[in-house]
Every structure is written in C-alpha cells, then in structure tokens.
Amino acid sequence: MSSANVFHATDKDFDDLVLKSDQPVLVDFWAPWCGPCKMIAPTLDQLADTYQGKAKVVKVDIEANPQVGMRFNVRSIPMLVMFKGGQVASTQMGAPPNVKSVLSQMIDRAVA
C-alpha cells in the first residue's frame, strides 16, 4: 500500500507539482513493468512519510506520461531526480543496494 504522502505527477501537472514547489522534490521516474521500480517503492513511501513538510516525493509513470520523461532525458528506470527551486539538484540512476541511505542523503542535501 502506498503512502498518502506520495504524489503522482502527469505531463499536465508536473511543473506545478515539482518545478514550482516551495519544497525540494524527489521524483521517481518509473513504469509498471519495472522490477527495480517496484522494489524501491516501499522505501519511497517511507521517505515521503519521514520528510513530510520538508520535502515531497513524486512518482511519474513514464509510459503514461512520456513528455516529462523526454524532457528530462529518462533513458533507464528507475531514475530518481532531486529538484530544488525548479532545478535538478542530483540524480540517481537505477536502484542502489542501499537505496534508503542514498535517497535520504539526496533529500538531506536538498533540504539543508
């Protein structure tokens, strides 16, 4: 079950949810058929709860929303991108073995 604190962006509302956000935003570019994407989903739910009020977690299904994927040159998934002030702050390609630690560090750097 996914966290109520995880947002789902589309081609239409990506800019409003992510680029215009007053908080840093961790975006998970994923697809329903992607195994590693499914593996990291519970960690993203935990991070969304942990950082509620400080940072947002937003998921973008690149199959349903191809324009956003093309805009940010998503070539392999999962691709996790930290946005701060509408700009890319950091990127993580693939699901690292220590995913929670890696993503927490990305968020911590953006929140600091």
Q: In a structure prediction context, what are the per-residue pLDDT tens digits for the chain, which is 112 residues long?
A: 567 899 999 999 999 999 999 999 999 999 999 999 999 999 999 999 999 999 999 999 999 999 999 999 999 999 999 999 999 999 999 998 999 999 999 999 999 9
Give the Cα separation of 91 and 70 in Å (integer): 15
Selected catalytic residue, list 9, 26, 27, 37? 37
The yes-or-no answer on residue 76 being catalytic is: no
Report which of 86, 89, 94 is spatially closest to residue 106, judged by C-alpha positions: 89
Does this model's pTM top 0.85?
yes
The yes-or-no answer on residue 34 being catalytic is: yes
Give the Cα separation of 44 and 42 in Å (integer): 5
Q: For the chain, which domains are there? A: 6-111 (3.40.30.10)
